[in-house]
A and B are shown apart, each in its own frame.
Chain A
Amino acid sequence: MKGMNNLLLEVNLNEKNFKDLRISDEILENFIGGRGLGVKIIAERLPTKIEPLAPENLLIFATGPFSGTTIPTNGRFSLVTKSPLTNGIFYSNSGGYFGVFMKKCGYDGIVIEGALTNPGYIVLDDTGTPKIKDASNIWTLNTEDTLKQLRLIEGQNIHVLMIGPAGENLVKISSIMNDSARAFGRGGVGAVMGSKKLKAIVVKRTNGKVKVHDNELLKKYVKVAQDKIKVVPITRSTLPKFGTSALVKVINILGMLPINNFQKGYDERTYQVSGEEINAKLTQEQEGCYACPIRCGRLTKAGNMRGKGPEYESVWALGPNLGIFDLITITQANYLCNMYGIDTISCGGSIACGMELQQKGYIKNDSLKFGKSTSLKNLVKMITYKEGIGSELSEGAALLAKKHNSNETAMHVKGLELPAYDPRGAIGHALGYATSNRGGCHLTGYLASLEIFAVPKKIDRFTIAGKPDLLALKQNQKAIEDSLVICTFAGWALGLDYYARFLKAITGIDYDVIQLTEIGERIYTLERIFNLNEGLNKSTDTLPSRFLSNPLKDGASKGHVVPLELMLDQYYNVRGWDSNGIPTKELLKKLKINYENA
């Protein structure tokens, strides 16, 4: 298919060998690339009930037909694996430059299986001779030092995916870092890479070109898209000026900024950690990914440390959710998470759970007190190295709470810690948490775009009607975005009507919006089947009990709970799943899913 190389690099770490894995046009036309391609491969190849940290697990990185073109925000690429945190399928998405240059080297993606005996790293370039090299000298280094060392060894013109000590130590909330501070976050994907004794993947910058069917037409569409990004306020000024932390004040005003492990939804002190405060006190420079006109990234300085971020979710997870409003401490803890390779949301979610356990007397540990900022950085380190209470926290909130017989203190879905929107404040968004194939995730459907930001138009955030339908559509649309691959922030200005035209110009295939949505549905449904086979089912399509029965006591979302049962049945019906949440045979036939375990 034009726009792709139809080629993946297959790496067997047991045998330390490589082979080319040709991908047919038919697969690409039906799954596109990125997340869709990864899901197709893992669903077909990974036997059920494989332990996520066993060598058999697959780690798949994949680009899409947009990667490396002139389309705005095409620098993102996808990862698919089985998560040690959820025991289900996991997709993650990261920006930067690595994906584009992997594709320019001739590979649409990499499929990694097996495990090395001793630490190693992979080097890719455009010569067609990838290598596995010894990583014993960089194993144990943090990600900042790893990057420095690899640049000394491999040259400055490289991009690197790597794990920090957290991934090496199989911390279940660890990330894979992407150059200096971008990440494949969530789901403990760093531990999967660590279990394979794979410290890093290096790609060398090359001048490879992406083959496009009609360059002139693409150029015209891209110009129109760039104009649109320039005139929509969120992409023109809000994200460039404040980054994602613009959300801090807004979500607090709506009474849905989780405070003290989701025990409250509003706190007046939140202005101390707002986007405005970050801009005024920390921001040094803006930065962006490949081909991105939005440039939402931030180079910052906090006290004697420098780094990137914090993003909205990180500010919240390491701040208000722990009762901490000290911006310097929050930002430095965020830097440490990046250096150790830990997911900030899950890190904050696990510590918050520990703090509530302490608050309620289930555990006794003075460092785990809401509002105690002096312990935070040390807790991040203890999680990384599994020291003391850090060992329990490193397993994630769900296991931590279970161990102390207090499941109600873990704010998670399917084992994945929840992000920074109290679900009681937007019930469609809440349904998205409950049904996301990767667990407690805000990005999979993001109905907040309508319920909070009125894009494309406002809907009542406490009303049920239409929410299951809208959510299913948005989940399908997100699956296709992650497969093309394009940044979710482009969606504030553009949408599938643009993406279908881009794809048509790239491939020469007459895609329309509806075909893309159906491909998204195919991907989403296949993920669901994978999860059902792993034991994730209707019983795990749920939310922590406080969201179902304990209304918030103050703020603009006061008095509301999530009517999940009422929405869930409708959602299954809308999706063409039976009353137990199992996709029907008719649906599988319509979506052309021939999965032997379906």
Chain B
Amino acid sequence: MSVDESIYKIFKKIGKHLVHHGYNTSHSGNISIRSGGKIIIKRRAAMLSDLEPEDLVVCDLKEEDSGSLLASTELGVHRAIYLETDAMAVIHAHNPYCVALSLVENEITCIDAEGFALYKKIPIIDVEIPAGAYYTSIEVPKMLKNYPFVIVRGHGIFAKGMTLEDALQYVTGAEQSARIRYLTLITGKSLLRDYSKEKDFSLW
């Protein structure tokens, strides 16, 4: 199955955005979409900021196939997310503020206006070994059944969407909310108004 030119353009745009805005290092992170019963995923060790058409790998949605030879090492997590949730696109990134807060908090409640309007809270999970597909492929899909994203403590974020742009907004939006929360916390002052507590976002 060849990859449509329009799909390649979207991958290239999203990959570039993730690296240039500091969500990933040059080769880290991975992105994929679900299409026609297949997964189209970034090639392993390809530069996310400068994807070529051959850096998009088509793999079977349901089971391991030879495409996994070239696919991102996190293919297993992506596949599990597609099989267990309603995701149509998945992004995994290493958002610095999300990762930093995940080391000191058990969930990130959103205190900024966009965050509380769109996300409410960003859940955080622990997995036995945070990097690599095996453990995350078990725990991450469970959370994505009810949330658009989840942070694996100390590792990074997994976000789903109906499109890659949709997932990107969750990645960038989560980072923005985490950044506001982080910056607010380091002032050492108490919040004059905490909408997240008024609305009990921890219940969300």
Whether B163 contacts A466 by the Cβ 8 Å rule is yes
Whether B120 contacts A224 by the Cβ 8 Å rule is yes
A469's partner among B88, B117, B146, B147 (CB-CB below 8 A) is B88
B146's partner among A227, A456, A513 (CB-CB below 8 A) is A513
Q: Once bound together, how far apart are the Cα atoms of A513 and B86, in whole Å?
A: 8
Whether B88 contacts A470 by the Cβ 8 Å rule is yes
Query: In residues 547-596 of chain A, which contact B (Cβ within 8 Å)?
Result: 570, 573-574
Whether B145 contacts A513 by the Cβ 8 Å rule is yes
| B146 surroundings in chain A (CB, below 8 A) | 497, 500-501, 512-513
Beyond A231-B117, A450-B163, A456-B163, whether A473 also contacts B200 by CB under 8 A is no
B188 at the interface (CB under 8 A from A): no
* Nearest-CB residue, chain B, relative to A470: B88
A23 CB, nearest partner CB in chain B, Å? 27
B203 at the interface (CB under 8 A from A): yes
B116 CB, nearest partner CB in chain A, Å? 9
A597 at the interface (CB under 8 A from B): no
Comparing B22-30, B31-39, B43-51, B91-99, the segment that makes contact with chain A is B31-39
A517 at the interface (CB under 8 A from B): yes
Whether A466 contacts B88 by the Cβ 8 Å rule is yes
B112 CB, nearest partner CB in chain A, Å? 14
| A468 surroundings in chain B (CB, below 8 A) | 36
| A473 surroundings in chain B (CB, below 8 A) | 86, 88, 162
Whether A517 contacts B166 by the Cβ 8 Å rule is no
Whether A464 contacts B145 by the Cβ 8 Å rule is no
Proximity bits, A69-98, B CB within 8 Å = 1, else 0: 000000000000000000000000000000
A281 at the interface (CB under 8 A from B): no
B139 CB, nearest partner CB in chain A, Å? 15
A565 CB, nearest partner CB in chain B, Å? 13
B6's partner among A227, A456, A463, A514 (CB-CB below 8 A) is A463
A460 at the interface (CB under 8 A from B): yes
A459 at the interface (CB under 8 A from B): yes
Whether A217 contacts B35 by the Cβ 8 Å rule is no
Query: In residues 1-15 of chain B, which contact A (Cβ within 8 Å)?
Result: 4, 6-7
A465 at the interface (CB under 8 A from B): yes
| A570 surroundings in chain B (CB, below 8 A) | 36-37
Q: Once bound together, how far apart are the Cα atoms of A560 and B196, in whole Å?
A: 48
| B156 surroundings in chain A (CB, below 8 A) | none
B50 CB, nearest partner CB in chain A, Å? 22
Q: Once bound together, how far apart are the Cα atoms of A513 and B34, in whole Å?
A: 18
Query: In residues 429-477 of chain A, which contact B (Cβ within 8 Å)?
Result: 450, 456-460, 463-466, 468-470, 473, 477
B148 at the interface (CB under 8 A from A): yes
Whether A514 contacts B88 by the Cβ 8 Å rule is no
* Nearest-CB residue, chain B, relative to A498: B204
Q: Once bound together, how far apart are the Cα atoms of A482 and B4, in whole Å?
A: 35
A45 at the interface (CB under 8 A from B): no
Whether B117 contacts A466 by the Cβ 8 Å rule is no
Query: In residues 33-88 of chain B, which contact A (Cβ within 8 Å)?
Result: 33-37, 84-86, 88
* Nearest-CB residue, chain A, relative to B84: A514
A213 at the interface (CB under 8 A from B): no
| A514 surroundings in chain B (CB, below 8 A) | 84-86, 145
Q: Once bound together, how far apart are the Cα atoms of A563 and B36, in whole Å?
A: 14
A67 CB, nearest partner CB in chain B, Å? 23
Whether B199 contacts A450 by the Cβ 8 Å rule is no
A228 at the interface (CB under 8 A from B): yes
| A456 surroundings in chain B (CB, below 8 A) | 161-163, 166, 169
| B166 surroundings in chain A (CB, below 8 A) | 456-457
Query: In residues 477-506 of chain A, which contact B (Cβ within 8 Å)?
Result: 477, 496-497, 500-501
A18 CB, nearest partner CB in chain B, Å? 41
Q: Once bound together, how far apart are the Cα atoms of A255 and B146, in whole Å?
A: 38
Q: Once bound together, how far apart are the Cα atoms of A514 and B161, in whole Å?
A: 14
Query: In residues 274-290 of chain A, which contact B (Cβ within 8 Å)?
Result: none
* Nearest-CB residue, chain B, relative to A573: B37
A402 at the interface (CB under 8 A from B): no
B107 at the interface (CB under 8 A from A): no
Most buried by B among A227, A231, A469, A515: A469
Whether A220 contacts B169 by the Cβ 8 Å rule is no
A111 CB, nearest partner CB in chain B, Å? 32
B75 CB, nearest partner CB in chain A, Å? 18
B56 CB, nearest partner CB in chain A, Å? 11
Whether B161 contacts A457 by the Cβ 8 Å rule is yes
| A477 surroundings in chain B (CB, below 8 A) | 86
Q: Once bound together, how far apart are the Cα atoms of A477 and B86, in whole Å?
A: 10
Q: Once bound together, how far apart are the Cα atoms of A263 and B36, in whole Å?
A: 31
| A220 surroundings in chain B (CB, below 8 A) | 199-200, 203
A228 CB, nearest partner CB in chain B, Å? 7
B126 at the interface (CB under 8 A from A): no
| B117 surroundings in chain A (CB, below 8 A) | 227-228, 231
| B7 surroundings in chain A (CB, below 8 A) | 463, 465-466
B36's partner among A217, A227, A500, A573 (CB-CB below 8 A) is A573
Whether B86 contacts A466 by the Cβ 8 Å rule is no
Q: Once bound together, how far apart are the Cα atoms of A463 and B117, in whole Å?
A: 32
Proximity bits, A187-223, B CB within 8 Å = 1, else 0: 0000000000000000000000000000001001001
Q: Once bound together, how far apart are the Cα atoms of A513 and B37, in whole Å?
A: 21
* Nearest-CB residue, chain A, relative to B6: A463
B90 CB, nearest partner CB in chain A, Å? 13
Q: Once bound together, how far apart are the Cα atoms of A223 and B203, in whole Å?
A: 13
| A512 surroundings in chain B (CB, below 8 A) | 145-146
List the 10 closest A-B pairs by CB distance, nearest first. Answer: A570-B36, A457-B165, A512-B145, A457-B166, A514-B145, A466-B35, A465-B4, A573-B37, A456-B166, A457-B163
Q: Which residues of A does B touch, CB under 8 Å?
A: 217, 220, 223-224, 227-228, 231, 450, 456-460, 463-466, 468-470, 473, 477, 496-497, 500-501, 512-515, 517, 570, 573-574
Q: A217-B203, A570-B36, A573-B37 are in contact. List 6 more A-B contacts (CB 8 A).
A: A220-B203, A457-B161, A457-B162, A465-B33, A477-B86, A574-B37
